[in-house]
Amino acid sequence: MPQPPVRAYVGLGANLGDSAATLRQVLAQLEATPGIAGVTASPFYRSAPVDATGPDFINAVAALDTVLAPLALLDVLQALEHEHGRLRPYRNAPRTLDLDLLLHGDAQLDHERLILPHPRLHLRAFVLLPLRDLAPDLSVHGKPMDAWIGAIHDQPIERLAG
């Protein structure tokens, strides 16, 4: 019997090239991926790099329904990063595309390739604000989203029009 779909949330970011166009293209590619349906994106945000240098990022979060297991979904995300020219010359390097699996249903996973829920999602304005746009009542690491958002007020971020 097939597994019912679960709701997953994916963080999207880019700070090289036409970042907004790349994110729009990736959202369409996710929607067209077998095993993924119902892709909904938050508004786009502009944010300064965290623990890194380089141009500002364009960020968003996508909610999607998937029958893919967490590691299979991670494989899809990493293949999309590769397709869009993602290089990893050093930690937190500027990037053409960054896709992070934030949540996969209620899954808790501590694997060498993937930790769920994402261990730093509650520390980043560029994740919390777009995630709140999609799921304002979601709890993150056992706390309501707004409890975390108060702690990230010092991170510069701007919601983009359109």
Tell me the per-residue pLDDT of 103-123, one tens digit each, with 9 for 90 and over. 999 999 899 999 999 999 999
**With 90 as the cut, is the pLDDT of residue 33 above it?**
yes
Q: How far apart are alpha carbons 123 and 54 in whole angstroms?
A: 20
| Residues designated catalytic | 86, 95, 98, 100
**With 90 as the cut, is the pLDDT of residue 98 above it?**
yes
Q: Which of 64-68, 90-94, 115-119, 147-151 has the highest mean pLDDT?
A: 64-68
What are the φ and ψ backbone dihedral angles of 55, each rounded to 5 degrees? -65, 165
